[in-house]
């Protein structure tokens, strides 16, 4: 029910949203990476269900693309290689919560969670588990209680502007194309 | 400070003749108001939401300082540095000091009307900091060396063709680019600035008292860049932007997004609570928040308190028939249109902006669309009491108008005068009337009162 | 069974009809009388005070309001052929007397029994329909700001026009936009007022109408004076009550 509401909302704001099974993921990823001729893919490694990350990483590398990920330093903190990140033309992120009411993807910050992967490349692919759909923004915010991350980012469709003659145009500073693949079935 | 004394009569006289600007303003204003109407129609409980917004804002504006202190304490606890600025000059000094203390030479800036109020760009540039506007509309007007003419759509007065010409001139792009190509050119130009900037400057759409968070909306993604990439972040926020709790935010967001651009939510919503935390690879090392008063505490205690409830959505501008006839620049104020005609004189001084409360036909459209029900026409009418000196003719007329015998004579005199030519005290008003119209034409024949008398006698 | 009582109405003529358009006053009386309403005209009446109110002279406006109260307080109902004057009496008087609850209460009572004539026919007399007009001309309707947003009357005048004129009634594009009159605004900023007027007249011309009706003669004074300046030919500007009278009496003027 709320998943249907999410699908309608997300499509309404221009997200290419699809439901697919884990077994379909390899084929679909290969097609996307091929279509984009993505030489380099931004891929934060933290927070994923393990089978999902394994599939993504294996498939991207199989396609001959390099992955750019936040690197773990000796002291346990993470850092991006910003120039490598800047050249990635696809960002793949795990989205652990998406909001039916608004059609939004939620990305809390945290060590290794790398929200720049959903911002700098021209195409952003978010992967989620169907069970992670939330009814509304207020309810999701309440989940954090007093423990709000330093950056909580909601992405609702592509980067867009109407600043020239109110003519809606995408891909201003962020991605012009946002894909959201929601993986069905229990695999975690 | 700008040396020009604002004169709406003179500026608007020129503005109405600029058909290119008016056509561009009208096109966008029509689209924006159309999108808002659709979004509101698709929100069944929008009236309830508006009432919630107004009621909640009344609580806030009734105790502004309490919420400001609570916000400051919680933001500090989250690791931000909060500065209180009593006026624009102090805010500018603080911003310059923050840049200097951190050796910041370049800044990328997201759209902020509060920063315009502070004249932040001018101040930082004078102190040797290069500020690049990154919102496309603001980027356009920065290239053109202009001021925003709409609080939500700053370049509303420029057509695509004019923007293309400007880009060719300033960025060397090929002539006559399409909107898509112009956007791509701006992306390329600004991406480098984002990656290189020392400082990111933003405003704040909301500041949440109970968590110390700044909430920022953007569709382009420039705000995300400015709050993630540079090592220093500065947010300049008016104390009127504070709302009590995180739980209030989705409701105010719903009101703002629908009214500003007919959206349910903007493409990006960033909730920023303090600087980068231990272990994180992104976000600024320091987050500075300048809480700007600049008259707001004073306004909160006066009769125009509800103007502080304004969400700065711009709906009243896009719907205002005067704004649509003259564009934003004619107001010669940071805040134009209905909300600006109330706020600008209250912030900058009634004597400077005495024209603006009068620059309104009291048509009531603004109050009808305001997402938090600010009584804008009532305020504009009341402000006239503060700025206008009733002319002698009106004072005399007032005496006549409640004295039945004099009133009747006055009506007869008016009929005769309009038939035979206007002289004396009425002449100046008629001179202005006939700038665009012929004199009013009384009907021939007997007056109503004469007709009534004959009729009653006949019965 | 109760005998139907005769309704009594005091006509508030308004300055526009008093100085410029006696036909509007006459039509108002005859329309009301044709529905059996007993109309009286308190001759001591003057102006509602709107010009002072809207230029920020609240002191003078209070004096006018008190005079209006004196003249009309005992009336069963007050009817005026002008939305903006009714808006003033209904929505602007009582806030002028904030510290005086008893007086404010009297103004609230006054407010509750003051109506625009078209509004009175619809809301109080509950007139469902009007007869066809004997010589229907192509007519459009200017729904003034004070009709729409002042007294909140939407679609009522348009319905009456449709009944009287059939296909000869043509709705005005961008109908809820202000015509640019705005009282003192029209002489303080005549260039802007003129620009807004041009747009409104442009839309009127687009409809091909030869008659423009409204419930506010002040807007129509501004528009007709502008139409003459722009040589727009023979446009007739009327209060809706005038067309109603013609339809009810089966003859034009």
List A152's β-bridge partners, or say none: A108, B271
Of C52, C148, C225, the CB nearest to B437: C225
Counting the structural domains of chain A, the total is: 1
pLDDT of residue C212: 98
Q: Which residues contact C243 (CB under 8 A, 6 or more apart)?
A: C133, C139, C161, C164, C165, C211, C213
Report the b/e string of C179-216 with b at 16+ CB within 10 A. Answer: bbbbbbbbbbbbbbbbbbbbbbbebbeebebebbbbbb
Tell me which residue of C119, C137, C136, C135 sits closest to C127, measured CA to CA: C119
Could you count the other beta carbons within 10 Å of the beta carbon of residue A142? 11
| C82 reaches B (C-beta below 8 A) | no
Tell me which residue of B247, B248, B265 sits closest to B256, measured CA to CA: B265
| C23 reaches B (C-beta below 8 A) | yes
**Phi first, then psi: what are they for B118, rounded to 5°?**
-85, -15
Specify the 3-state DSSP secondary structure of A95.
coil
* CATH number attached to the domain at B13-159+190-298: 3.40.50.10420
Q: What is the mean pLDDT of chain B?
A: 95
C–B touching, 3+ CB–CB pairs within 8 Å: yes
DSSP B4: P
Is A156 within 8 Å of B194 when comparing Cβ atoms? no
Is B154 within 8 Å of A115 when comparing Cβ atoms? no
pLDDT of residue B251: 98
Confidence of residue B142 (pLDDT cuts 50, 70, 90): very high
CA distance linking residue C144 with residue C137, whole number of Å: 21
| B298 reaches C (C-beta below 8 A) | no
Tell whether the model's pLDDT for residue A181 goes beyond 60: yes
Tell me which residue of C84, C85, C92, C125 sits closest to C108, measured CA to CA: C92
Is B179 within 8 Å of A165 when comparing Cβ atoms? yes
Please compute the mean of the pLDDT values over residues B78-88 and round it to a whole number.
98
> What CATH number has the domain bearing residue A63?
3.40.50.10420
CA distance linking residue B335 with residue B324, whole number of Å: 15
Tell whether the model's pLDDT for residue B459 goes beyond 60: no
Is B280 within 8 Å of A116 when comparing Cβ atoms? no
Q: Are B371 and B50 in contact (CB under 8 A)?
A: yes
CA distance linking residue B71 with residue B77, whole number of Å: 10
Q: What is the pLDDT of residues A94-125, one digit of tens each?
A: 999 999 999 999 999 999 998 999 999 999 99
- pTM: predicted TM-score of the whole model, two decimal places: 0.95
Of B79, B154, B224, the CB nearest to A153: B224
| C42 reaches B (C-beta below 8 A) | no
Among A residues 3-32, those touching chain B with beta carbons less than 8 Å apart: 9, 13
Q: How far away is chain B from the Cα of C1, in angstroms, using its nearest Cα? A: 32
User: Number of residue pairs across A and B with CB atoms under 8 Å?
Assistant: 190
Confidence of residue A59 (pLDDT cuts 50, 70, 90): very high
Q: B351: part of which helix (H) or strand (E)?
A: none
Specify the 3-state DSSP secondary structure of A17.
strand
| A186 reaches B (C-beta below 8 A) | no
CA distance linking residue B98 with residue B261, whole number of Å: 34
Could you count the other beta carbons within 10 Å of the beta carbon of residue C8? 12
Q: Are C196 and C204 in contact (CB under 8 A)?
A: no
Tell me which residue of C41, C30, C35, C39 sits closest to C245, measured CA to CA: C30
Please compute the mean of the pLDDT values over residues B44-65 and round it to a whole number.
97
Confidence of residue A188 (pLDDT cuts 50, 70, 90): low
Tell me which residue of B368, B231, B225, B289 sits closest to B80, measured CA to CA: B289
Helical pair B46-61 and B64-77, crossing angle rounded to 10 deg: 90
Tell me which residue of B180, B270, B102 sits closest to A116, measured CA to CA: B270
Q: Which residue has the tokens 């008003």?
A: B429
Residues of B in contact with A162 (CB under 8 A): 28, 31, 153, 219, 261
Residue % of chain B over a pLDDT of 90? 90
pLDDT of residue C1: 47
Residue A54 belongs to domain spanning? 2-159+168-184
Tell whether the model's pLDDT for residue A146 goes beyond 90: no
Q: Are B371 and B259 in contact (CB under 8 A)?
A: yes
| C222 reaches B (C-beta below 8 A) | yes
In chain A, where do the E strands start and end? 16-21, 40-42, 66-68, 71-72, 78-79, 90-94, 97-99, 104-108, 123-129, 133-134, 151-155, 160-161, 169-170, 177-184
Q: How far away is chain A from the Cα of B104, in angstroms, using its nearest Cα? A: 19
CA distance linking residue B377 with residue B368, whole number of Å: 10
The shares of helix, strand and coil residues in chain B, as percent rounded to the nearest 5, are 55, 10, 35
Q: What is the mean pLDDT of chain A?
A: 95
CA distance linking residue B373 with residue B376, whole number of Å: 8
Kindly report each contact of residues A142-145 with a partner whose C-beta sits within 8 Å and lies 24 or more positions away, as own/partner.
A142/B246, A142/B247, A144/A108
A–C touching, 3+ CB–CB pairs within 8 Å: no
Please compute the mean of the pLDDT values over residues B58-63 and round it to a whole number.
98
List chains touching B (3+ CB pairs under 8 A): A, C
CA distance linking residue B449 with residue B452, whole number of Å: 5
Q: Where are the domains of chain B?
A: 13-159+190-298, 396-458
Could you count the other beta carbons within 10 Å of the beta carbon of residue A121? 27
List B269's β-bridge partners, or say none: A154, B217
Query: Which residues of chain C carry a pLDDT beneath 50?
Result: 1
| A121 reaches B (C-beta below 8 A) | no
Q: Which residue has the tokens 């933290």?
A: A46
Write down how long chain B is.
459
CA distance linking residue C66 with residue C93, whole number of Å: 9
Q: Are B77 and B210 in contact (CB under 8 A)?
A: no
| B427 reaches A (C-beta below 8 A) | no
Specify the 3-state DSSP secondary structure of B443.
coil
Is B228 within 8 Å of A119 when comparing Cβ atoms? yes
Confidence of residue B428 (pLDDT cuts 50, 70, 90): confident
Would you call B279 exposed, middle or buried from its count of C-beta atoms within 10 A (0-12, 13-18, 19+)? middle
Q: What is the pLDDT of residues B300-320, one digit of tens each?
A: 999 999 999 999 999 999 999
Is B411 within 8 Å of C19 when comparing Cβ atoms? yes
Q: Which of B329-338, B415-424, C222-231 has the lowest mean pLDDT?
A: B415-424
List A90's β-bridge partners, or say none: A41, A123
Give the 3-state DSSP-derived string for chain C, with helices as H, strands as E and coil as C.
CCCCCCCEEEECCCHHHHHHCHHHHHHHHHHHHHCCCEEECCCCCCCCCHHHHCCCCHHHHHHHHHHHHHHHCCCCCEEECCHHHHHHHHHHCHHHHCCCHHHHHHHHHHHHCEEEHHHHHHHCCCCCCCCCCCCCCCEEEECCHHHHHHCCCCCHHHHHHHHHHHHHECCCCCCCCCCCCCCCHHHHCHHHHHHHHHHHHHHHHHHCCCEEEECCHHHHHHHHHHHHHCCCCCCEEEEHHHHHHHHHHCCCC
Residues of B in contact with A174 (CB under 8 A): 220-221, 224, 267-268
Among B residues 21-80, those touching chain C with beta carbons less than 8 Å apart: 22
What are B88's two structure tokens?
């624009």
On the CB side of C56, how many CA atoms lie within 13 Å of its CA?
20
CA distance linking residue C60 with residue C239, whole number of Å: 29
Q: What is the pLDDT of residues A47-58, one digit of tens each?
A: 999 999 999 999
| B442 reaches C (C-beta below 8 A) | yes
Would you call B395 exposed, middle or buried from its count of C-beta atoms within 10 A (0-12, 13-18, 19+)? middle
Q: Are A176 and A159 in contact (CB under 8 A)?
A: yes
Of C22, C177, C178, the CB nearest to B448: C22
Q: Which residues contact C117 (CB under 8 A, 6 or more apart)?
A: C28, C31, C32, C79, C80, C81, C215, C240, C241
C-alpha Rg value of chain C to the nearest Å? 18
| C22 reaches B (C-beta below 8 A) | yes
CA distance linking residue B436 with residue B426, whole number of Å: 17
| B149 reaches A (C-beta below 8 A) | no
Q: What is the pLDDT of residues B375-405, one digit of tens each?
A: 999 999 999 999 988 778 788 888 888 899 9
Q: What is the pLDDT of residues B357-377, one digit of tens each?
A: 999 999 999 999 999 999 999
Residue % of chain A over a pLDDT of 90? 93
Q: Are C199 and B23 in contact (CB under 8 A)?
A: no
Q: How far away is chain C from the Cα of B176, in angstroms, using its nearest Cα? A: 31
C-alpha Rg value of chain B to the nearest Å? 26
User: Number of residue pairs across B and C with CB atoms under 8 Å?
Assistant: 196
Q: Which residue has the tokens 């006026």?
A: B87
Q: Which residue has the tokens 């003179």?
A: B10
pLDDT of residue B1: 44
Q: How far away is chain C from the Cα of B399, in angstroms, using its nearest Cα? A: 8
Q: Are B92 and B127 in contact (CB under 8 A)?
A: no
CA distance linking residue C143 with residue B452, whole number of Å: 29
Could you count the other beta carbons within 10 Å of the beta carbon of residue A26? 14
């Amino acid at each position: 029910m709320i998943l249907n509401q999410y699908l309608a909302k997300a499509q309404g704001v221009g997200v290419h949203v699809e439901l697919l099974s884990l077994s379909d993921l390899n084929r679909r990823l290969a097609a996307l990476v091929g279509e984009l001729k993505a030489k380099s893919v931004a891929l934060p490694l933290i927070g994923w269900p393990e089978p999902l990350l394994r599939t993504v990483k294996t498939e991207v590398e199989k396609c001959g693309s390099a992955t750019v990920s936040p690197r773990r330093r000796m002291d346990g903190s993470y850092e991006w290689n910003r120039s490598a990140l800047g050249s990635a033309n696809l960002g793949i992120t795990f989205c652990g919560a998406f909001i039916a009411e608004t059609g939004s993807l939620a990305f809390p910050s945290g060590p290794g969670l790398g929200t720049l992967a959903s911002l700098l490349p021209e195409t952003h692919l978010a992967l989620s588990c169907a069970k992670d759909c939330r009814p509304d923004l207020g309810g999701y915010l309440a989940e954090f209680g007093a423990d709000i991350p330093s950056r909580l980012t909601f992405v609702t469709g592509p980067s867009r502007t109407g600043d020239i003659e109110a003519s809606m145009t995408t891909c201003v500073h962020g991605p012009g194309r946002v894909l959201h693949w929601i993986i069905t079935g229990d695999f975690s | 400070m700008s040396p020009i004394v604002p004169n709406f009569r003179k500026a608007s006289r020129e503005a109405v003749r600029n058909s290119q600007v008016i056509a561009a303003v009208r096109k966008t204003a029509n689209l924006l108001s159309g999108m808002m109407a659709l979004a509101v129609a698709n929100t069944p409980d929008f009236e309830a939401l508006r009432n919630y917004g107004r009621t909640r804002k009344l609580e806030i504006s009734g105790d502004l300082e309490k919420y400001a202190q609570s916000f400051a304490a919680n933001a500090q606890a989250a690791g931000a540095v909060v500065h209180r600025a009593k006026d624009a000059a102090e805010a500018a000094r603080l911003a310059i000091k923050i840049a200097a203390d951190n050796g910041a030479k370049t800044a990328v800036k997201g759209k902020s009307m509060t920063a315009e109020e502070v004249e932040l760009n001018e101040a930082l540039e004078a102190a040797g900091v290069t500020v690049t506007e990154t919102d496309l509309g603001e980027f356009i007007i920065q290239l053109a060396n202009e001021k925003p003419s709409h609080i939500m759509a700053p370049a509303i007065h420029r057509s695509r063709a004019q923007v293309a010409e400007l880009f060719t001139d300033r960025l060397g792009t090929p002539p006559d680019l399409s909107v898509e190509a112009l956007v791509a050119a701006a992306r390329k130009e600004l991406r480098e600035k984002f990656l290189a900037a020392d400082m990111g400057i933003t405003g704040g759409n909301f500041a949440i008292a109970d968590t110390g968070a700044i909430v920022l909306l953007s569709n382009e993604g420039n705000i995300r860049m400015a709050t993630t990439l540079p090592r220093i972040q500065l947010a300049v926020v008016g104390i009127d932007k504070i709302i009590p709790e995180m739980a209030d935010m989705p409701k105010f967001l719903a009101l703002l997004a629908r009214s500003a651009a007919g959206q349910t939510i903007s493409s990006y919503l960033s909730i920023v609570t303090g600087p980068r935390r231990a272990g994180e690879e992104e976000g600024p090392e320091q987050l500075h928040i300048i809480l700007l008063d600049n008259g707001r505490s004073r306004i909160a205690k006066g009769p125009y308190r509800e103007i502080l409830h304004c969400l700065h959505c711009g709906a009243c501008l896009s719907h205002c028939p005067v704004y649509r006839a003259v564009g934003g620049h004619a107001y010669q104020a940071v805040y134009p249109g209905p909300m600006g005609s109330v706020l600008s004189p209250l912030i900058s001084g009634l004597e400077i902006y005495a024209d603006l409360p009068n620059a309104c036909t009291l048509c009531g459209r603004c109050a009808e669309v305001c997402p938090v029900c600010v009584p804008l026409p009532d305020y504009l009418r009341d402000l006239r009491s503060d700025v206008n000196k009733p002319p002698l003719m009106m004072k005399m007329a007032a005496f006549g108008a409640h004295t039945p015998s004099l009133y009747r004579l006055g009506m007869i005199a008016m009929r005769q005068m309009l038939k035979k030519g206007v002289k004396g005290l009425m002449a100046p008003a008629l001179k202005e009337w006939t700038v665009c119209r012929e004199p009013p034409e009384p009907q021939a024949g007997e007056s109503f009162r004469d007709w009534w008398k004959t009729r009653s006698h006949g019965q | 069974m109760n005998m139907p009582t005769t309704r009594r109405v005091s006509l508030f003529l308004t300055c526009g009809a008093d100085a410029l358009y006696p036909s509007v006053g006459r039509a108002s009386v005859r329309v009301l009388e044709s529905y059996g309403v007993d109309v009286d005209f308190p001759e001591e009446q003057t102006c509602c005070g709107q010009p002072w109110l809207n230029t920020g002279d609240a002191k003078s406006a209070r004096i006018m309001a008190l005079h209006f109260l004196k003249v009309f307080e005992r009336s069963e109902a007050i009817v005026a052929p002008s939305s903006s004057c009714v808006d003033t009496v209904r929505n602007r008087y009582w806030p002028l007397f904030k510290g005086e609850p008893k007086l404010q209460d009297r103004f609230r009572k006054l407010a509750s029994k003051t109506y625009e004539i078209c509004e009175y026919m619809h809301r109080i007399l509950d007139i469902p329909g009007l007869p066809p007009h004997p010589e229907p001309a192509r007519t459009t309707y200017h729904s003034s700001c004070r009709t729409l947003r002042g007294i909140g009357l939407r679609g009522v005048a348009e319905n009456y026009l449709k009944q009287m004129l059939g296909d000869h009634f043509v709705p005005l594009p961008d109908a809820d936009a202000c015509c640019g009159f705005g009282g003192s605004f029209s002489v303080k900023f005549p260039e802007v007022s003129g620009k807004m007027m041009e747009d409104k007249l442009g839309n009127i011309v687009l409809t091909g109408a030869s008659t423009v009706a409204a419930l506010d003669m002040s807007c129509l004074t501004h528009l007709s004076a502008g139409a003459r300046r722009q040589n727009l030919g023979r446009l007739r500007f009327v209060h809706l009550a005038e067309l109603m009278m013609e339809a009810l009496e089966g003859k034009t003027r």
